[in-house]
Structure 1
Amino acid sequence: MTLNALVDDLARSLGFLSRLPVSSRFFAGHSGEMSRTPRAFPLAGAVIAAPVGLALALLLNLGASSLIAAFVAVALQVILSGALHEDGLADTADGFGGASRERALEIMKDSRIGAYGVLALVLGVGLRVAALAALANRLAPLDVALAVIGIAAVSRALMVWHWHALPPARPGGVAASLGKPTDTALYTALFFGLAVAVITITPFASFHPLAVTLFISATAAFGFNQLTRRRLGGQTGDTIGATQQICEIVALVTLSMAV
């Protein structure tokens, strides 16, 4: 793994996962195939979350209430990611409400949002805001910012696991056209996610809260993998995004209870 190749993958990951500006030179001559690129997803998650954590810490230091600061942080995160993962969560929730696999996939392909999707978004945003506010009430502003970065990396590592663990539900879908992360890309992504979490969370928390957070997050990802396999027979772009949201929500709530 060369540094230049990793930088290329990080830039392409940022272009894929966010609205952050990325130079076109990183995409020149690239086929769009994504078997190696996802190894940098956790690093991209950390980059995306860095300004979110900075804004959260700044607002708290300026005297904003924990609830207001948390709402602004989540709003900024949605803006920077282009609501990519939230869209996946909403579509997946709507699809899982379908009566059959075929109907579920049809619903998920529809750009319209239904009651299940709306409820998933409301509950997801509400839990993220509540967990961030709880962390802000217990930790120093800088520590909360670091937690946001660490959890962003972990949740994106686990979405690579979901992508790798399941076959495409639609052979002609977007996820299938991008290819499947290689074993090496998966292991590298998991390593980066763990490394960022250790670096950002252990300065203010002992090993126990971090271990519990990682275990519960991985358990949530595994459970969602199994549910998706049973419900759809494989992953889609929407379920990959939903994995990130589920794991981020679970990690934030768990850490807020563990520290």
Structure 2
Amino acid sequence: MIARRLSEARLALMLLTRVPAGQLAEPVPGLEAARWAFPLVGVLTGVLGWAAFALARQVGLGAELAAVLAFGALALVTGGLHLDGLADFTDGFGGRDRARRLEIMRDSRIGSYGVVALIVVSAAQVLAMAQAGADFAAFLLAGGLSRFAMLVLLVWLPPARADGMGRLAAGRAGAVLVPGAVLGVALMLIVGGAGLPALVAGGLAAGFVGLSAKRRLGGQTGDVLGAAQILSETAIWLVLAAQAA
């Protein structure tokens, strides 16, 4: 049981980051089995983001530059996976119907909607991170809860495509949410008073993405999950910044 769970967690790490995780032993778990570990991976990325921020501050850089480096470190660790999803998802707004939107989202080229979304979200997250400061628990909360948002969408929405990550990791088993929910509550308690507002803000952002995807696409895709993660994370950082002001 423990070996299987570790294998699932490693698969989630391999999927959501570029962190070396070694070779998976047979039998290799499916993505549906590994998705419970998404919030744990988010916590790990939060640790790495905090380390970049704290190190930058330690060598004398200001909060804004430290936040830029932390944001860059997070993008590097994740391979820009979620940012790419945001760009593709927003580019899809230009499609007239479901089929065209899915076609646009699959196109590797970035459009004007995607460029604007990346600029606005990146700037908002960097500035909010700088204002919130190098709080270790804040990085863990933003990383963990935003990956939990991905998990909620996987349980809530059917896959919009017959292939891709959204299809492979989809499933309606609500029990998969339990570990992430427990982790989220623990992180909220550690953060303190800002924890609940941050959860609400992150949930609203992810809910917006989910409702939009349901109406425009008929379900979720890997790009939808990426957009939900990055927008949820940004909303959480905005609340944490407001609380720190």
TM-score grouping bracket, smaller chain normalisation: over 0.9
Quote how far apart the aligned CAs of 1:231 are. Answer: 1.0
Deviations 1:54-107 (A, max 9, x none): 121122132211110000000000000000101100000001221111110010
Indicate whether 1:148 and 2:115 are aligned. no
CA contact (8 A) 2:137 2:187 kept: no
TM-score, structure 2 as length reference: 0.93
Structure 2 gap ranges (5+): none
Q: Tell me by how many angstroms 1:181 deviates.
A: 5.8
Q: Residue in 2 aligned with 1:72?
A: 69
1:85 and 2:70 are equivalent in the alignment: no
- 2:180 corresponding residue in structure 1: 189
Deviation readout 1:207-226 (Å, 9 max, x if unpaired)? 3x211111121122222211
TM-score by length of 1: 0.88
1:229 is aligned to 214
Aligned length: 244
Question: Aligned pair in 2 of structure 1 residues 198, 12: CA closer, same or farther (>3 Å)?
Answer: farther
Counterpart contact for 2:86–2:226, Cα < 8 Å: yes
The equivalent residue for 2:51 is 54
Match of 1:44 in 2: 41
Aligned to 1:17: 16
Counterpart CA distance in 1 for 2:188 and 2:146 is 10
**Contact 1:153 1:197 (C-alpha < 8 Å) held by counterparts:** no
2:217 is matched by which residue type in structure 1?
L
Distance, in Å, in 1 between the alignment partners of 2:89 and 2:183 is 27
Native 8 Å contact 1:105 1:232 kept in 2? yes
Taking a change above 3 Å as real, the CA distance of residues 113 and 57 of structure 1, as seen in their structure-2 partners, is same
Q: In structure 2, do the counterparts of structure 1 residues 174 and 35 end up closer, same or farther at CA, with 3 Å as the change threshold? A: closer
Show structure 1 runs of 4+ deviating over 6 A.
Answer: none
Give me the whole-angstrom Cα distance separating, in 2, the residues matched to 1:232 and 1:147.
33
More deviation in 78-87 or 215-224? 215-224
Identical-pair percentage: 33
1:4 to partner: Cα distance:
3.4
Determine the structure 2 residue equivalent to 1:161: 152
Q: Distance in 2 between matches of 1:162 and 1:27?
A: 29
* Number of the residue aligned with 1:34: 31
Q: Secondary structure at the match of 1:36?
A: helix
1:21 Cα deviation from its structure 2 partner: 0.3
Selected match of 2:132 from 129, 132, 135: 135
Q: Which moved more, 1:154-163 or 1:213-222?
A: 213-222
Residue type at the aligned position of 2:20: P
The answer as to whether partners of 2:90 and 2:117 remain within 8 angstroms in 1 is yes
Give the match for residue 123 of structure 1.
Answer: 120
Whether the 8 Å CA contact 1:67–1:133 is kept in 2: the answer is yes
Distance 1:174 1:214, change over 3 A: closer
